[in-house]
Amino acid sequence: MTTVELAGGRRVAPAPRAFQGAFAALWAHPRGRIGLVLVAIMALLAALGPELAPWSFSELDLASQRANRHQPLLPLENVAHPLGTDILSRDMLSRVLYGIRVSLLVAIIAQVVIVAIGLPIGAIAGWFGGRVETLLMRATDVVATFPQLVFIIMFTVAFYDTPFQRMLDGLLVVMLAIGLLSWVVVARLVRAEVLSLKHRSYVEGARAIGLPGMAILRRHLMPNLMGSVVVAVSAGVPAAILTEATLSFLGLGIQPPSPSLGSLIWTGTETLSQFPHLVIIPAVPLVLLLVAFTMLGDGLRDVLDPRLRH
């Protein structure tokens, strides 16, 4: 962003950049660094999952199960299945790797939906004010009062067994449901930020040289909003991971045979007494994902939040 020159040669300072030196600051933040490294590892596992996985997530290995007196293999029992197999003789490592991929994918796309709804609503409400603002913020208040999980469950069930629901193994509905009920935080945050930035001198300057409102919003306000939006999004990721896992645990999320960490845990509970490892193996990456994103979120908040920075 270049400086804006006003009539009479006065210059208005350019808007401060939200991300200047953010990465270095995040690396210096103890929890932020752990979070960053863990997230990078999990993202790598998710991206390379199919290459790393020795089997496909739905492939049966009946021969090795027969050799094991029709029992699922325990972890480390057989080199071909490092984390053992499930009741149907499918490779646990491959299923867990696929589950990590599902968790990350759902959480990130849900955040895209959240920002796509929340950002314009908050920005328009804050920028235009008046009746538009009242209407938009009242709508936001209504959605905020809904018991989230109840409505997300209902949304996924409403489309149960329809072609729409079968898209992406049932994950599209989950992503949309989470997004449609969780944009409220982003909308409120963006509105508050726009309200506080609206009367800064660089915005008034841009207005004075005759830039149209939309252009100011896009070119001068958006870059400065991004810091808080990133903080809100990073806090939303663990929440979305948890919601997807809960839905799949209830049998409402992913469609079998595709596995998700939540559905793996639910399947594991059916044989909980004999084979507790079928619950514990998918639980470990789920908790790791939640820890990683919670720590990264804490770090990003400390580094990027304008209220904490000054």
Partner 1 sequence: MLLYTIRRLLWIVPVLFVASVVTFWLMHAAPGSPWNREGRQLDPALVASLNERFALDQPLPVQYLKWLGGVLQGDFGTSFTSGEVPVSQNPFHIETTNVAEVLGPAFLPSLTLLGLAFTLAVIVGVGLGVVAAWNHNRLPDHVATGITLLGMVGPPFLIAVLLQIAFDTHSIHNPGILPVRGWGTPAHWVLPTIALAGLPMAMIARFTRGSMLEVIGEAYVRTAHSKGLPPRRVALVHVLRNALIPVVAILGPVLAVVITSSIVIERVFAIPGVGGLYLLAITSRDYGVIMSMTLVYTVAVAGLNLLVDLLYGVIDPRVRQATVAA
Considering only 121, 203, 229, 245, the residue that binds partner 1 (CB under 8 A) is: 245
Q: Quick check: 116 binds partner 1 (CB under 8 A)?
A: no
Interacting span for partner 1 (CB under 8 A) from 88-96, 107-115, 182-190, 260-268? 260-268
Positions in 283-302 near partner 1 (CB under 8 A): 283, 286-287, 290-291, 294
Q: What DSSP string runs through the chain?
A: -PPEEPTTS-EEPPPPPTTTTHHHHHHHSHHHHHHHHHHHHHHHHHHHHHHH-SS-TT-B-HHHHHHTTT-PPPTTSBTTBTT-B-TT-BBHHHHHHHHHHHHHHHHHHHHHHHHHHHHHHHHHHHHH-HHHHHHHHHHHHHHHHS-HHHHHHHHHHHTTTSHHHHGGGGHHHHHHHHHHHHTHHHHHHHHHHHHHHTTSHHHHHHHHTT--HHHHIIIIIHHHHHHHHHHHHHHHHHHHHHHHHHHHHTTSSSPTTS--HHHHHHHHHTTTTT-THHHHHHHHHHHHHHHHHHHHHHHHHHHH-HHHH-
Task: Name the minimum Å distance from CB 34 to partner 1.
Answer: 12
Q: Quick check: 145 binds partner 1 (CB under 8 A)?
A: yes
Q: Quick check: 195 binds partner 1 (CB under 8 A)?
A: no
Interacting span for partner 1 (CB under 8 A) from 34-42, 196-204, 221-229, 282-290? 282-290
Binding residues with partner 1: total (CB under 8 A): 40
Task: Name the minimum Å distance from CB 108 to partner 1.
Answer: 18
Task: Name the minimum Å distance from CB 141 to partner 1.
Answer: 8
Q: Name the residues that contact partner 1, by CB under 8 A.
A: 138, 141-142, 145-151, 153-155, 157-162, 238, 242, 245-246, 249-250, 262, 265, 268-269, 272-273, 276, 279-280, 283, 286-287, 290-291, 294
